[in-house]
Amino acid sequence: CFLSLQKREISNFDYLMYLNTLAGRSYNDYMQYPVFPWVLADYHSETLNLSNPHTFRDLSKPMGAQTVERKHKFIQRFNEVEKNLSAQCHYCTHYSSAIIVASYLVRMEPFTQTFCSLQGGSFDVADRMFHSVKSTWESASRDNMSDVRELIPEFFYLPEFLTNANHFELGCMQDGTVLGDVQLPPWADGDPHKFILLHRQALESDYVSAHLHRWIDLIFGHKQHGSAAVEAVNTYHPYFYGDKMDLNNIKDPLIKSTILGFISNFGQIPKQV
């Protein structure tokens, strides 16, 4: 399959779906939903230039290391092992979880009800809801130390999830903005279909095709854990590595329940392929 990718016989999208399936990720499990990369870093330009390398996210680095300052902060956390952490790691949050999936798709059923259920029966505070592609990128790549989320496949084929066609009352932000449709980058001209078209073109671009294997190493490959992960600033709380923990040998039911709850709520590293 990798040779087919190199020869451009299959798309980058299809190859990523193939890897997700091999790693046990499925649309049927919000806790192990297919994970896709942020591929762009330009959500402010009027036009999208796919021939400019600066248009793209650095696929060789995890979301926690997209800026030098942010990377150093996570390395410092790893080295210091803060008092409130139970294990040495760079990240205590995950790039894919049930709540991340439901928050992206909250404007569509059945994800609306799933999101509300995970939130205790109601929508989240409006300012924390998924409302802007640009703001979400800035949060996950630069601003928020507890946000390292990646994307889901729908960002590359489903414009409907970006519109509030069901007219859900999602709340009002502190600046007075009423939440409705997702705010799109200027280059999308306010059109979800154009956003998906250009975003998919970006995924299939020459730049992403030449660098996608580096992101695959981080998520599915040899930089997923161990010394290579430490060097790549890509280690997560041990509970996220569900397949590396032998739950059958944990006798304390409270500890086992805690681990299972952690995985359920905060995500799980894909199986290494």
Residue 151: how many other CB atoms lie within 10 Å: 23
What average pLDDT does the chain have? 90
92: which DSSP letter?
Answer: S
Give the tens place of pLDDT for each residue, 131-148.
Answer: 999 999 999 999 999 999
Query: Is the confidence at residue 250, as pLDDT, over 90?
Result: no
CATH code of the region 1-264: 1.10.1540.10
7 confidence band (pLDDT: 50, 70, 90): low
Query: Is the confidence at residue 82, as pLDDT, over 60?
Result: no
**Does residue 153 contact residue 34 with C-beta atoms inside 8 Å?**
yes
Peptide bond connecting 185 to the previous residue in cis, omega within 30 degrees of 0: no
Q: What six digits make up the tokens of 61?
A: 């680095």
Task: Please state, in angstroms and rounded to a whole number, the distance separating the CA atoms of residues 54 and 57.
Answer: 8
Name the strand (E) or helix (H) holding 225. Answer: none
Percentage of the chain beyond pLDDT 70 is: 89
Residue 35: how many other CB atoms lie within 10 Å: 25
Give the tens place of pLDDT for each residue, 168-226.
Answer: 999 999 988 899 999 999 999 999 999 999 999 999 999 999 999 999 999 999 999 99
Query: Is the confidence at residue 104, as pLDDT, over 60?
Result: yes
Query: Is the confidence at residue 257, as pLDDT, over 80?
Result: no
Q: Say whether 236 sits in a helix, a strand or coil.
A: strand
Q: Which amino acid is at 164?
A: N
Task: Please give the pLDDT value at position 83.
Answer: 54
Torsion of the alpha carbons at 80, 84, 90 and 94, rounded to the nearest 10:
180
Higher pLDDT: 259 or 271? It is: 271
Task: Please give the pLDDT value at position 84.
Answer: 55
Q: Which residues of 76-89 are buried (b: 16+ CB within 10 A; e: fewer)?
A: ebbeeeeeeeeeeb
**Does residue 141 contact residue 66 with C-beta atoms inside 8 Å?**
yes
Average pLDDT, integer, range 108-124: 90
Average pLDDT, integer, range 217-242: 92
Task: Please give the pLDDT value at position 111.
Answer: 94
Task: Please give the pLDDT value at position 1.
Answer: 56
